[in-house]
């Protein structure tokens, strides 16, 4: 994680959940749930867990929260909390039945390294579920969305007292490849990608570690 990202998330930790809820029109937990519903029971790693907002949608599983920003983790209701980054997971091989990650992938310094690490810590036939924001598909929707976030996010930033941070969020949305390209070339099998939310600016993805051959 870059120092800039660490500063950003440390600064906005307290106001983060409320602002997220407002910006997603109250839908951010539904989008987490749509992805979490694809995960098997057992031990789940919540990668980039932040304040632990995903806990209700991961119910019934043993949840381990990982995040590089201690102030975010300190607000989390999840008991098992580990400071660390997705690019270098401090867990043994094949120690999780599933990995869940919500609204994190844009912030990673290396998606490739993180995918390799997720593959390593998943048991064979384990599942990863990812939800994140992206620019919509199609030139008009993308343009409309870029114009929208160029206005809405700086205003949200002013309201929570962190204008630079929210301008960064607007910029970061345009930087990443679409999820199919971002996630489809790693060691995990990409099983499903779908779009959610207005203009389809949120994606869900389900990936699987190939099972061992008998
Ligand atoms: C937008 S928040 C999402 C938090 C939480 N997953 C949720 O759904 O509310 C992004 C989180 O990703 C974390 N993060 C940033 N870079 C990371 C990395 N390289 N590895 C793991 N987590 C990271 C941040 O500290 C922050 O808590």
Beta bridge partners of 122: 96
- Which residue range is the domain that position 100 belongs to? 3-13+24-136+176-208
Total domains, the chain? 1
201: domain CATH number is: 3.40.50.150
Query: 54-91 as b/e, with b when 16 or more CB fall inside 10 Å?
Result: bbebbeebebbbbbbbebbbeebebeebeeebbbebeb
Q: Which of helix, strand or coil describes residue 88?
A: strand
Q: Are the CB atoms for 96 and 117 separated by under 8 Å?
A: no
Residue 170 maps to a domain: no
Residue, of 47 and 169, whose pLDDT is higher:
47
Burial label, 175 (beta-carbon count in 10 A; 0-12, 13-18, 19+): exposed
How many angstroms is it from 73 CA to the middle of ligand 1? 10
Residue 187 maps to a domain: yes
Q: Is the CB of 9 under 6 A from ligand 1?
A: yes
Residue 150 maps to a domain: no
Q: Give dist(CA 83, CA 93) in Å, integer.
A: 18
Query: How wide is the angle at C-alpha 103 spanned by C-alphas 131 and 22, nearest 5°?
Result: 105
Residue entry with tokens 């301008």:
167
User: Tens digit of pLDDT for each residue in 35-70?
Assistant: 999 999 999 999 999 999 999 999 999 999 999 999
Residue 161 maps to a domain: no
Residue 149 maps to a domain: no
Residue 177's pLDDT band, with cuts at 50, 70 and 90, is confident
Supply 193's token pair: 């990608």
Residue 152 maps to a domain: no
How many angstroms is it from 199 CA to the middle of ligand 1? 24
Would you say residue 5 has pLDDT above 70?
no
How many angstroms is it from 140 CA to the middle of ligand 1? 29
Would you say residue 7 has pLDDT above 90?
no
- The per-residue pLDDT for 6 is 66
SS (H, E, C) 173-193: HCCCCCHHHHHCCCCCEEEEE
């Amino acid at each position: 994680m870059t120092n800039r990202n660490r500063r950003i998330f440390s600064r906005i930790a307290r106001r983060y959940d409320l602002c997220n809820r407002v910006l997603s029109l109250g839908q951010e937990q539904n989008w987490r749930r749509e992805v979490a519903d694809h995960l098997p029971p057992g031990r789940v790693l919540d990668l980039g867990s932040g304040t632990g907002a995903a806990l209700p949608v991961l119910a019934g599983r043993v949840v381990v929260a990982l995040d590089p920003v201690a102030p975010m983790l300190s607000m989390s209701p999840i008991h098992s909390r580990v400071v660390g980054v997705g690019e270098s997971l401090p867990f043994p091989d094949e120690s999780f039945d599933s990995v869940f990650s919500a609204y994190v992938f844009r912030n990673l310094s290396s998606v490739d390294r993180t995918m390799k690490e997720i593959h390593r810590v998943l048991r064979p036939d384990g599942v990863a579920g990812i939800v994140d924001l992206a620019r919509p598909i199609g030139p008009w929707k993308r343009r409309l969305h870029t114009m929208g976030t160029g206005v809405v996010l700086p205003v949200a930033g002013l309201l929570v007292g962190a204008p630079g941070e929210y301008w960064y969020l607007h910029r970061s949305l345009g930087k990443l490849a679409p999820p199919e390209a971002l996630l489809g070339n790693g060691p995990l099998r990409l099983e499903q990608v779908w779009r959610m939310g207005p203009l389809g600016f949120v994606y869900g993805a389900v990936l699987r570690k190939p099972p061992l051959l008998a």
